[in-house]
Structures are given as C-alpha cells and as structure tokens.
Amino acid sequence: MRLSTKARYGTRAILDLAMHYGEGPILIRDIAQRQGISKKYLEQIIAALKGAGLVKSFRGAHGGYALARDPASIKMSEVVQALEGPLTLVECLEDPSICSRAPYCVAMEVWARVNRAMLDALDSLTLQDLVDRQIRKGLGYGI
Amino acid sequence: MRLSTKARYGTRAILDLAMHYGEGPILIRDIAQRQGISKKYLEQIIAALKGAGLVKSFRGAHGGYALARDPASIKMSEVVQALEGPLTLVECLEDPSICSRAPYCVAMEVWARVNRAMLDALDSLTLQDLVDRQIRKGLGYGI
DNA sequence: TTTAAAGTCTACTAAATTAGTAGACTACCA
DNA sequence: TGGTAGTCTACTAATTTAGTAGACTTTAAA
C-alpha cells in the first residue's frame, strides 16, 4: 500500500506554492526544477489540484499558478484526496450495497477504523502547518 | 489507495480460522466456499499468512489450516502486514538515504503521521476482538 | 498587431502490479 | 497404497502507474 508518485509530487508541489503564497503566479517550470519533477508530468498533477479548487492558474505571458485560498484554510486531507482520489481503503465503505456480505462483515469495521484514523491525521494538518514546519526545519534545495 | 483483494480476502480467511479456533484443521476448500473466494487464489493468500507464522498447516488426509496462536495474541497489524507487505506509505520512511531531499522534506512528516495513525488503529485490534464483534453482529453465510 | 511565454488538452506507451488460473508435485493418514 | 490435502512454480489478462509527446489556446507586452 504505497502512495503514488502523483500524491507525493503533488504534495510537494502545493507546499512549494504555499511557501510562495502572496508572490503572484509561480511558474510550473520553477516548481518542477526546485522539486526535481518532470515539468510535463507536473502539469497533469497540478491540473488535479486545480480541478479540486485548491490552486488557480493564470494563462498567457507572466502566467503561472497560485494557491486558490489561504494556506491555513487548506487541509491536507483535501490535498491528498485531490491527488489520490477518494481516501477509502475499500469500496464497500462508500457503497455497502456492492457486497452482499456487508451486513455481517466484521472486516469492513476494521477498514472503517483505519480509514477514520488516516482521515483524522490528515484533517488535523493544514498547508500552513507544513509551511511552518518547513521554515523550522530549514529550506533545502532553494525552496 | 485501495486495499488489495489479497488483504481483504486474507483478513476474512484468517477471521474464519479464528471463528473455528480449537476445532482442529480447517479445510481451505471450506473457507473458500464460506467466504466466496477461489480456492486456488486462497491457497496463495494463506501461504502468506503461514509464511508470517500466523497460521499453521497440516498436510495429507485430514489436513487443513489452523491459527498458529491464540486469536487474542494476534494483532490486526500483523495480519495486514503479512498480506500487504510493509505498511509504509512511502519508501523513504524505511530508508531516508534513498532520497537526497529527506533531511529537509516536510511531506515525509505528513506520511509518517498518517502511517503511525494507521498502525495504531491496527495494533489496537486483535483477531479475538473481531471474533467477538462477529458473534455480536451475527453469523451470516454460515460462517 | 504580432510574438513569445505560459497554461491546456488529448493521445500514446512502457513497465509494474494485481488478480487470478493451471497443473504437476509432495506429504500424510487410514 | 490410494486418495486427500497442502505446496510450488509458471503463466496470463487486465489494470494502473508513471510518465512522454505534441498540437493548441490564451494573454501580456513590444
């Protein structure tokens, strides 16, 4: 159960945007370079963040990307869900009718519990928290 | 981030064994039938549980499988790890040296936190807890 | 009004993983 | 010694992942 590169890269990319919040449009090319990610791949990843309304874009010359909202108002659960899709370990939690065993299934309860734990952990962190940690931890690689 | 069928089926299979703990060897064929899983596929899944020392096998006539230890001593984290492999969302948590960014990486801290939350949830449940819940919830499908 | 810079959209692909199937083989009890 | 039951290895179809590629659109500024 590994996280996809999309979620890992996307998280770093949006943190990069958060670190530059208020500076106007940031070039995808610069994010790609700072984070060591292919620019072309990053385009697709950022598109997912834009689709979720977490990031906004400016087209044309002097365009780029910026956070759509204040970093303190963006929960990490939103970010990860935008990148990985619904954070549900097992489909039957979303729709129990797909499995005839659901009414008696105890395994489901286990997955529900793990799910809630993950969600709680991600709900309790905002992008601003990450920015603060990044500043405390030090800025490597010219972030 | 969906759980594999291996983890889902395997969890139900070992719970089935736990429900029949103390009854001697249980046939893989019967588990497969009760749980609605292909017998051939279940063989491979149970092999993983055996490899992790959670289940023991008896070959030959009147053989089958049984829990290797008391259900109360088997944590769900052991079960899931036996089936899914290391429960680490991101490789760099196991070995930070694989990523030159690790020393400054704040994303890593997020994944570590989520990881701990998942592990805690699974550590706090034993197979016996599942058996108890199953009994309280009712036995569907002739489990 | 042209031009270059920037994001957007769609299609393609190689590699890896998942979810099995298949079958020959070995061990054990009666 | 026969049959029951687990074991081992190989194969495969489908899906997902992790990108690459390129033509297209929008826009600021010269």
B116 assigned to some structural domain? no
pLDDT along chain B (143 residues), means of 10: 97 98 97 96 98 97 97 98 97 95 96 98 98 90 52
pLDDT at A140: 66
Nearest residue for D18, CA–C1': A5
In angstroms, the CA B95 to CA A5 distance is 17
Read off the pLDDT of each residue in A2-10 and give the average, rounded to a whole number.
98
Chain-chain contact of A3 with B106 (C-beta, under 8 angstroms):
no
- State pLDDT tens for residues B63-90: 999 999 999 999 999 999 999 999 999 9
Residue A105 token pair = 């299934």
| Nucleotide nearest B25 (Cα, C1') | D5
**Nearest CB to A111: which of B3, B103, B114?**
B3
| CA terminus-to-terminus distance, chain A | 29
pLDDT at B141: 55
The pLDDT of residue A27 is above 80 = yes
pLDDT at A123: 98
CB atoms within 10 A of CB B15: 25
A108 assigned to some structural domain? no
- State pLDDT tens for residues A114-134: 999 999 999 999 999 999 999
CATH of the domain at A79: 1.10.10.10
Residue range of the domain that includes A27:
5-85+126-136
pLDDT at B99: 94
A116 assigned to some structural domain? no
Nearest residue for C29, CA–C1': B61
Number of domains in chain B: 1
Instruction: Using DSSP, state whether A64 is helix, strand or coil.
Output: strand
- State pLDDT tens for residues A81-98: 999 999 999 999 999 999
A35 assigned to some structural domain? yes
B76-103 burial: b if 16+ Cβ within 10 Å, else e = bbbbbbbbbeeebbbebbeeeeeeebee
The dihedral region occupied by B28, where left means phi > 0, alpha psi between -120 and 50, and beta the remainder, is: alpha
Closest CA to A6 of A72, A71, A66, A81: A81
Residue of A4, A8, A132 to mutate for B, most B C-beta atoms under 10 A:
A8
Chain B residues whose CB is inside 8 A of the A111 CB are 3
B72 assigned to some structural domain? yes
| Nucleotide nearest A44 (Cα, C1') | C8
Chain-chain contact of A103 with B134 (C-beta, under 8 angstroms):
no
**What does each C-alpha distance from B143 to A82, A129, B76, B120 come to in angstroms?**
39, 47, 19, 28
A92 assigned to some structural domain? no
B52: Cβ under 7 Å from strand D? no
Chain-chain contact of B113 with A121 (C-beta, under 8 angstroms):
yes
A66-99 burial: b if 16+ Cβ within 10 Å, else e = bbbeebeebbbbbbbbbbbeeebbbebeeeeeee
Chain-chain contact of B130 with A113 (C-beta, under 8 angstroms):
no
Predicted structure pTM score: 0.94
In angstroms, the CA B25 to CA A88 distance is 35
| Nucleotide nearest A59 (Cα, C1') | C7
A96 assigned to some structural domain? no
A90 assigned to some structural domain? no
pLDDT > 90 fraction of chain A, expressed in percent and rounded: 96
Tokens 């009760």: give the residue.
B34
B66: Cβ under 7 Å from strand D? no
Q: How many residues does chain A have?
A: 143
